[in-house]
Every structure is written in structure tokens, then in C-alpha cells.
Structure 1
Amino acid sequence: MTATTATTRLPSSDPAPGEPGWLPAPPAAAAHVIRDDAEAIAVAERLKPLFSAEAKERDRDRRLPFSEVDLFSQSGLWGITVPRAYGGAGVSQVTLAQVFAILAAGDPSLTQIAQNSFEIIDVIRQTGSEAQKRELFAAVLSGKRLGNAFSEFGGKNVEAFETRLVRKDDHFVVSGRKFYSTGALFAHLVPIVALDEEGHVVVAVADRDAEGLTVVDDWSAFGQRTTASGTVILDAVVIPAERVLPAHIVYENRSAVGPQSQLIHAAIDAGIARGAIEATIDFVRNNARPWIDSGSDRAADDPYTIAAIGDLAIRLHAAEALLDRAGRQLDETIANVSDETIAKAKIAVAEAKVLTTEVAIAAANRLFELAGTRSTLGTHNLDRFWRDARTHTLHDPVRWKFHAVGQYYLNGVQPPLHSWI
């Protein structure tokens, strides 16, 4: 399925965005550099209505958001966690979660495209050499986008990597096949998770136009349809030695990288819930009819509808409160890393993930109950909220969050070492 509207082009012309062989152009101008937390929130609030303006059409037609992604990265939001020492805003994790929740309420697919960039920024911060930090942080602040070639479709679990990095003369070569590669299609640089010759996890940062690196737009999920989270094929891709990060430092030892990534996923789910509730309120006020037994002239005066909206609002605010709490704990953990503080961060984020998952699915379900049969008509495409919620909340199974939280509080067992909690 093509990602763009139909155009008439000569056979010899360059491929259109999303077609095989297409590459994103370098930023036409340096991206805006956001200076502090308050500005990051303000920019996100300005972008939200722009993201939501054609969200239902993009989802319906699976029209990938090329121009919107450019706007997103040029706004400066992709670089807000770059440390101040390297020219970034170094915003708090609380602010980062708020930014993602705001934007995801407008379009969660578009918002998720940036998610993996922030995990890699932190890997660079914790494992990169000074030269690597200067080069890669400067690239992000200039508007270049980091993609994602992390997960693999095969293997017995999410940590069973088959992609390998081997040394050849003064450089490295990486080969393998990746999936769930959110952001890679739109990226200028593609970070690749691989195992080196000693079996350690590394991140190799490839140029998007590197020979042997192919991004395939084969994402077919019924939700988060425009993330382009498909396949990356790596056929002996050459990686300069200075572009290999010893990521095992943070992936094989306790670190905040995992819960930081999880926090953003929880924020996206909170944003989906917020967007679904906003859509419900708008439809009930402007399109729905009151039930005959309510005795009301407006659907918005139906007492059961009023109570249901109140219930959803309370549950959303509870989830957002836990999201803020998890962000604060992460900020404390990053400032003072220890086994104890890492465990606290993982558990705090797991608690937030439970509530954001529950309210996202609940809000997307109740939308139709409260808005009525006409809300299911295709012209509204309101089912995108449920499809997005159901798809994105599968990222990490919530049933195991309950287990980790219970083990921590009941038996004093620290959460697992891996990055999926």
C-alpha cells in the first residue's frame, strides 16, 4: 500500500516519499533549539492541533506524515533531552512525558515516530565518547532524526538478537533483519542494536543512505497505522568505528534507559486516552442524540453520560498523576543512580503504565457507548482511538507489570534487569 497521494511522474524521476529507494532530505535549515522545559511544553501545545488536523484522514488512508515529521523535528522537540553541556535543553523526565502525552492526544502514530530517538540520546549520553557525544548531539540539534533498528521478529524473546556486528579492517560490518522499526523510514541516522563478536550488545549508528541498508514499509497493524514500524534489512552495512556505541554498559547492567523508554510509551497511552475523551465530549455535545428515557433535550444532559465522562476524567487524571510521579522518580534516579533508585524508577513507571493502559482502552471503548451508533460511521473514523490504544498498549504486557510491582512491595524482589520494565 503506498504512503502518498497519487501523482503523475515520469518513470525516471526520483521515488516519491515512502516508495522504495526514497531517502529523507537533510534538514533545509537548522532546527530550532528549545531552551528550557517551559518552552518544550509550549511548543508541544502549539503542535498538537496541527498534528490532529488531518489525523483521521492519515489513519484512514495510511498516508504517512512526511511533512508533519519534518515540522516535528524542526520544532526542536526531538532534541529536548540533549544535555545542556552539549547545547540542548536537558529537560526533566516529567516534561518529556508531558510533551509526548500532549502530542499523542493529537496523533499518537505521528508522536511515536520520535520515541526511540530519546532512548538512543540517553545511550549516547551514558556510553558515548566525547567525540561521539559532540557529533551525534550536534546532529540531533541540527534537525537530523535518529530512527530505530532495535527489535527483531524472530527469536524466542525480545532479547534474542540475531543481528551481528563484526570488525573488518578499520571499520565494522553489520548484517541482520529488524522489525518494529518505528522511525527508520523517516530517519537521517539509523541506530542498530546488534551483538558484537564477543556477544555484547552494541548500537551501531548507520547513515540512512548507507549501502546495504534498506527500509521496507511493510507495517500492517490495524492500529498506529502511520508509524511505518516495519522492516529494516541490513546487508553487510559498513559502520565507521567511531559510530559504534558500547550499549551493553546500560543494557546489561541496571540503568534508567529501560524505564525512560517505558515512560514515553506510558505517556503515549495517556495521550490516546486524552484524545479519545476529547473526541467523545465533542461528539456528545455536537452530534449525539439523548436517549429517549433521559428526558433531556441534549445528549450532554443525559445523567448517565455525565457520570461516565466524570469517571473517565478521574481515571485519566489518576493515570497522569502516576505519570508525573514516575517522571519525578526517574529524574531523582538519573541524578543518583543505584540499585535501589533504579528499582524505584522501574516500579514507578510500571505503575503508571498500568493505569495509562487501562484508561486508554476504557476511553476508546466508552466513546461509542456514549456517542451512539452514528459515531461508528466511517466518515468519523473514531475507531482509530481504539485501534491505536489496543495496538500500542501491547508494547509491554501489563500483566507482568502487576507481577513486578507485587514482587517488589510484597517480597522485596527488585524488578528484572532487562529494558522492558
Structure 2
Amino acid sequence: MTRPQAQTVPLATESERDRRRPGPPRPVHRIREDAEALEIAHLLAERFQAGAADRDRERRLPWDEIEAYTESGLGAITVPKDFGGTGARYETLAKVFKILCAADPALGQIPQNHFGVLALVHDIGTPAQKARIYADVLAGHRIGNAGPERKTRLITIATTRLEETGEGLRLTGERFYSTGSIFAHYIPTRAVDAQGRAVQVWARGDAEGVTVIDDWNSFGQRTTASGSVIFDRVAIDPLLVFPVHAFADRPGLAGPISQLIQAAIDAGIAQAAFDDACRFVRERARPWMDSGLEQATDDPTILHSVGHLATELHAAQEILYEAGRVLDRVSAAPVTAQSSAAASVAVAEAKILTTEIALEASETLFDLAGSAATRAAHNLDRHWRNARVHTLHDPVRWKYHLIGNHELNGALPARHQWN
């Protein structure tokens, strides 16, 4: 099958890059129950879907939409009830991301790191760190992430440094793949401390020496602003330094939770592509001349393909939600090496299936809808572009390896944010 071709993406000018930064946090709604979180997600999705194609086409960052998302209270749903949050189930978290990403997967991806680092706080944070961060999240603070470095050959090597100076702690380095950081009040990143140990460091987004650059120019997921962050001797609060080196061998759920979110984003992309394929066939597609039919919706080959996609989509979604339920069961008890491994295996299965259906649905859309669907005015190629880009977040071939090695050899998956 032919694939949609990549399009050139206009980068923001210097004036546009500096035009907007996050304003002070505003009061947010307190969500009390999982059902309310899902209801709010559906309401926001309806609003976000209306402008999704235009935001993608124009590469217009969703500032107003992110403010609406934050004010809705969804950003605080994983804050534990003991700290005033919803304490939502991980199955609910997966459903929220899937709902939002079916409307606009670039916008829906932006909070991924917010929840990923909150999971790390839950795993290794001190009571004082949890009290500080959870209170800020409940007050409307958004959390981004300054991702891996581009100037090293290995993703695990960090040249970003946290130094002890006469003026206190200072952070220096340059990072990329920083989804959400342009919208964030906090920007966590990995660094090496004065003793050469791995730490996670939280910088304020508005701190002197922090520069967020909108230089993300991928052909898909265009409006995630997943570009560069530069730290130039940024002052760091000692309370916001997490010694991740001390927990390297401690079982946790931060990695599986991060992967659950990635799988949910792909499920949302698949849903969007499937929905648009059905809509286009109903409203615009013409039956093939040899069929002798008057409507494309009666074409048995199209019916077969739609049935196949629907089955694969529903299967992937159910495995995704089951992975969320596995996380819920594991998190209800002290996490062990074996239960952490079970969580990683469950989300790996979900990641495989959501990756495959996102790619298949976004490509088959054109086979079903016909050449009219390729017109730029419809912008339906965004589904394939989004699927192709986001499913590269981490290689799904290694998910097969993870599962096979666990099933055959009893090997426990390595503990990091990609497992």
C-alpha cells in the first residue's frame, strides 16, 4: 500500500517562540470520582476535536486548549486521595488519554510527562516532596519534561550537570524531546550530580537561565512542541532533586505507567483514523464500478475491512484497559520485583497492539475512502503522520523481546521509563 507523504512543517519564528509562556497557575476544578474524570474528558474531547485538523495544518500550539484542560482538573487525577486528589484508577488514566487523543493526539500527548514524573514522585518521593508537588499540581501547576540529549550516542548518557556552588545548586545542560515543557510551570530533567550519580532535577519553567525553544519540526504530532530546553546555571531548590540512583534496584510502577500512557495515545490515534474512515466512506466514497452497487457502504470488501479494523481496534483497547487494571491491582499492594515485571509485561502487550492498529487503521483509511480522501483540504494524512511519529516513541520490536524473554526465561524487564 502507498503511504501518505511527509509534508514540510513550518518552524516558529523567534518572535513567535517568545510570544507566549505559561501564565501563573489558575484555580482548578477538583475531580472527586473516576466517572467524573471520564465525563470531563469526553466534554473536552468534543471541544478539542473541532480545531484539531486546523491546528495540525497551521502548526498552531494549543495554548487555550491546554488552559482549559488544566482548569478541568484532569491534571490532578492521579494525586492520591490522602493529598486531596482524585486517586483515580490507572484504567481511568488510560481511558482519559485515549478519549483526548482520539480528538487530537498531539494535544492529548502534551500531559504525558506530567503524569509520568508524578508516578516517579509516588515511587521515590519523600513525604515533603510529595506534599509540595501534589499541592502545586492541585493548584494548577503543569509539569513538562526535558528529555534525552541529542549530542550523545547512547540515550542513557547525560552531560547535563547539577553542580554545588557557593550560590547553591545550579543546573546546566541542553535537552530535546521535551514534550509539554513550553506549557509547563515545572520542567524536570535527568542530570549527573557532583558525585557522578543520576538525579532527577525539577527546574521552574520561568527561572532565570531556562530557555524553551520550539524547534520541533516532525511531520507528525506537530503541535506537541517537543523541542529543546536549555539550562544555563539554573538555580534549583534542593527539595526538588530526586536521587534516582538510590532507587535503581527498587521495584516501582513509574515505567509501566509511562508506557500505559504511550499505548493509550496510540489507541486514540487509531480510533480517530477509524472514525474518519467510516465517516468518509458513508459520506463521500463511491463504490467500485465492478461491484454493481450504488453505495460504497454496501461493498462487501469494504465491509470486510471495516469489520477487521473494528475487531483489531476493540481488541487493542481492551488489552490496554486490562493493562490499566493490572496496574491497579499491583499498586494496591507493596510492589515487588515480580509484580512490577507483571505490570511491564501487561503494558508491553498493550503497546504492541495499539501500535499495530494505529498504523493499520491510519493507512487503511485511504484504501477504503479512495483517492478523494488524499485531498489536502481533508487533512486525513495527519492520522498516519501522527501514528508513524508517535509509535516511534520506543521500538515495539523490543516489546516482543521483553515478553518472549519473560515467558521463556523468566527474565524480569529492565526498570526504566520505557518499560
Q: What TM-score bracket applies, with the shorter chain setting the length?
A: over 0.9
Q: Which runs of 5+ in 1 are unaligned?
A: 5-14
Q: For residues 322 and 192 of structure 1, what CA distance do their matches in structure 2 show?
A: 31
Contact 1:404 1:415 in 2 (8 A): yes
Aligned to 1:302: 299
Query: Does structure 2 conserve the Cα–Cα contact (< 8 Å) formed by 1:283 and 1:371?
Result: yes
In 2, Cα distance between equivalents of 1:326 and 1:363: 22
- Shift of residue 121, structure 1, vs aligned partner: 1.0
Partner of 2:385: 387
Aligned to 1:10: none
Question: Once the 2 structures are TM-superposed, how far is the Cα of residue 335 of structure 1 from its aligned partner?
Answer: 2.4
Three-state SS of the structure 1 residue aligned to 2:211 is: strand
Partner of 2:255: 258
Q: Give 1:194-343 correspondences, 5 Å limit.
A: 194-251=191-248, 253-336=250-333, 337-343=335-341
* Distance of 2:172 and 2:415 partners within structure 1: 27
1:313-353 CA-to-partner distances (Å, cap 9, x unmatched) read 10011111111111111122222301110111111110110
Partners of 1:319 and 1:359 within 8 A in 2: yes
In structure 2, the partner of 1:90 is: 87
The one of 164, 181, 192 aligned to 2:161: 164
Superimposed CA distance per residue, residues 252-294 of structure 1 (whole angstroms, 9 cap, x where no aligned partner)? 5432111110000000000000010001011111111111122
Residue of structure 2 in register with 1:64 after alignment: 61
| CA contact 1:123–1:247 (8 Å) conserved in 2 | no
> Are 2:361 and 1:370 aligned?
no
AA aligned opposite 1:414: L
Match of 2:3 in 1: none
Partner SS, residue 174 of structure 1: strand
Partner amino acid, structure 2, of 1:285: R
Question: Following superposition, which runs of at least 4 residues in structure 1 exceed 4 angstroms of deviation?
Answer: 1-4, 249-252
1:156-195 aligned at under 5 Å gives the runs: 156-169=153-166, 171-195=168-192
CA distance in 2, matches of 1:79, 1:159: 30
Unaligned runs of 5+ in 2: 1-9
* Corresponding residue of 2:104: 107
TM-score (norm 2): 0.94
1:394 aligned counterpart, secondary structure:
coil
Structure 2 Cα separation of the partners of residues 233 and 168 of structure 1: 19
Task: Encode CA deviations 1:359-396: one digit per residue, 9 max, x unaligned.
Answer: 00000000000000000000000000000000000011
Q: Paired residue for 2:357? A: 359
Please report how far the alpha carbon of residue 249 of structure 1 lies from its aligned counterpart in structure 2 after TM superposition: 4.4
User: Could you tell me how far 1:191 is from its partner in structure 2?
Assistant: 1.3
Alpha-carbon separation, structure 2, partners of 1:225 and 1:154: 23
CA shift at 1:404, angstroms?
1.0
Question: Are 1:135 and 2:132 matched, yes or no?
Answer: yes
Residues 401 and 414 from structure 1, CA distance in 2 versus in 1: closer, same or farther, beyond 3 angstroms?
A: same
Please give the alpha-carbon distance, in whole angstroms, between the structure 1 residues aligned to 2:34 and 2:122: 19
Distance (Å, rounded) in 1 between the aligned partners of 2:98 and 2:12? 26
CA contact (8 A) 1:78 1:145 kept: yes
CA distance in 2, matches of 1:252, 1:56: 44
Is the CA contact 2:11–2:216 (under 8 Å) kept in the aligned structure 1?
Answer: no
Partners of 2:252 and 2:128 lie apart in 1 by 22
RMSD of Structure 2 on Structure 1 (CA): 1.6
Q: Does 1:149 align with 2:122?
A: no
Supply the distance in 1 between the matched residues of 2:221 and 2:261 (Cα, whole angstroms): 15
Q: Are the structure 2 counterparts of residues 252 and 228 from structure 1 closer, same or farther at C-alpha, using a change threshold of 3 Å? A: farther
Matched residue of 2:171: which SS?
strand
SS in 2 for 1:297: coil
CA contact (8 A) 2:123 2:253 kept: no
Alpha-carbon separation, structure 2, partners of 1:332 and 1:113:
27
Distance 2:80 2:248 in 1: 20
Structure 1 residues 21 and 62, CA gap change in structure 2 (3 angstroms): closer
Distance 2:89 2:168 in 1: 36
Identity %: 49
Q: Distance in 2 between matches of 1:233 and 1:203?
A: 16
Per-residue CA deviation, residues 216-253 of structure 1 (Å, 9 max, x unaligned), is 00001100000000000011111021221223345554
Change (3 A) 1:249 1:260: farther
Query: TM-score scaled to structure 1, two decimals?
Result: 0.94
Whether the 8 Å contact between 1:171 and 1:238 is mirrored in structure 2 is yes
* 8 A Cα contact 2:330 2:339, kept in partner: yes
* Conserved 8 A contact 1:112-1:268: yes
Change (3 A) 1:240 1:201: same
Distance 1:333 1:245 in 2: 23
Q: Number of aligned residue pairs: give it.
A: 409
Distance in 1, Cα, partners of 2:119 & 2:416: 16
CA contact 2:11–2:217 (8 Å) conserved in 1: no
The answer to whether the 8 A contact 1:262-1:420 is kept is: yes
What is the alpha-carbon distance in structure 1 between the residues aligned to residue 27 and residue 357 of structure 2? 39
Q: Is the 8 A contact 1:128 1:246 kept in 2?
A: no
1:141/1:47 CA distance change after superposition, 3 Å: same
CA distance in structure 2 between the partners assigned to 1:24 and 1:347 by the alignment: 37
Residue 371 of structure 2 aligns with an amino acid whose one-letter code is T
